[in-house]
Amino acid sequence: MSAIHMLKNKEKIRLYIFKSNKHIYAHLVDDKQKRIITSSSTISKDTKEQNIYLKNCTTAKIVGKNIGLKLKKLGIREIIFDRGNNIYHGQVQAVAEGAREEGIIF
């Protein structure tokens, strides 16, 4: 990767996806300040209000929409999608689709 490409990536906020055996988490990470700006998961209040407790693609899409809404409130439109070691399929894809439906670009 070129130095210019790496510099561009450091300027954007990163959406990191983590899956455990029971839950899925979406963290918005600012690599410049080395902190988590906001997050959404299957155990967060905004998801539990919708009476969803299972980890499946439907729930993952709701988590993606919730993180997309939080990004819009912060005024962030473009991010880097970091799926970690997970393949882009199933729940990870559902989180991405949910965020894209809220107008987030990556």
The pTM of the full predicted model, rounded to 2 decimals, is: 0.83
Q: For the chain, what are the domain ranges?
A: 3-101
* Contact in structure between 76 and 13 (CB atoms under 8 Å): yes
Report the residue count for the chain. Answer: 106
- On the question of pLDDT at 16 being above 50, the answer is yes
Fold of 3-101: Nucleotidyltransferase; domain 5 (3.30.420)
Q: Which residues of 29-53 are buried (b: 16+ CB within 10 A; e: fewer)?
A: beeeeeeeebbbbbebeebeeeeee
* pLDDT 10s digits, 6-15: 445 557 899 9
